Amino acid sequence: MSTTPTFGQRLRAATAQHGPLCAGIDPHRALVESWGLTYDLDGLRAFTRACVEAFAGHVAIVKPQSAFFEVFGSPGIAVLEDAIRDLRSSGTLVLLDAKRGDIGSTMAAYAEAYLGESAVSPVDALTASPYLGFESLRPALDTAAANGRGLFVLALTSNPEGASVQHARGTQSSVAGSIVQGAADENATAATAGDLGSTGLVVGATVGSAVQDLGLDLASVNGPLLAPGVGAQGGTAEDLRRVFGDALGNVLPASSREVLAAGPGVTALRDRAGRTNEAMASLLS
């Protein structure tokens, strides 16, 4: 039997120590320029370095958005890889927001790239899109489990177009319902052991009554629930309680713009993250 801690176990320990906040690193043009930086490789590097210095060792988990680094090609990816390495070296978990999703050998390659034992720049968890079928993620689910890593699967997103797919109903349940059930099945062994599972879901804090309308039991997932949309995007304490209900204890409120608006100073970023973290912990208690 493997003695390697699971991602769920490591995440539970990290949030117990540092609080529930998932801090984003989103170096999009408007935000980089609002810091007085140029939107080029030098600006990307300075922006990212400030975020890493502010968050490393101070928050439980950090979520870089891969697309904003990919814009700059291989040099941008190198900046991302440096950030991943430095955050993980500090003990901070890294959730890469890349929303990968494919079938067969291609999905297996994505899994190996980010979650594999020999990954060049491994992360602790990865976001994934299940809209080629939940089982299309099997290579990533299995690779993550084998290496003590995690997967966050898109379930209910806040974009208006998402409902046309996620709320659609098949013969037995909605599409979102099948994703919730798939995650719950993946986490069944952890639930039996009394641990948090390593297969999480992405559920927007601003999806309104969708969870209730679709009859979803998020508590049954027994996995981490990433909740983007808190703060600058309008998500409130009431939204969190309505959306997540009995599953509030497993929620990771994700904040990017609200925290990053405090930059470019490292101390100001760290202080804003700390205050946001305290506020989120109070909401979820």
Supply 263's token pair. Answer: 């930059």
Supply 126's token pair. Answer: 């990865």
Among 99, 167, 242, 257, which one carries the catalytic annotation?
99
Contacting residues for 82 by C-beta, under 8 A, at least 6 apart: 48
Neighbours of 167 (CB within 10 A): 16
CA distances from 271 to 57, 142, 149, 227 (A): 13, 38, 29, 21
Q: In which residue are the tokens 């979820």 written?
A: 284
> Is 63 designated active site?
no
Burial 134-166 (b: 16+ CB within 10 A, else e): bebbbbbbebbbebbbbbbbbbbbbeeebbeeb
Q: In which residue are the tokens 């209910």 written?
A: 156
Active-site residue set = 99
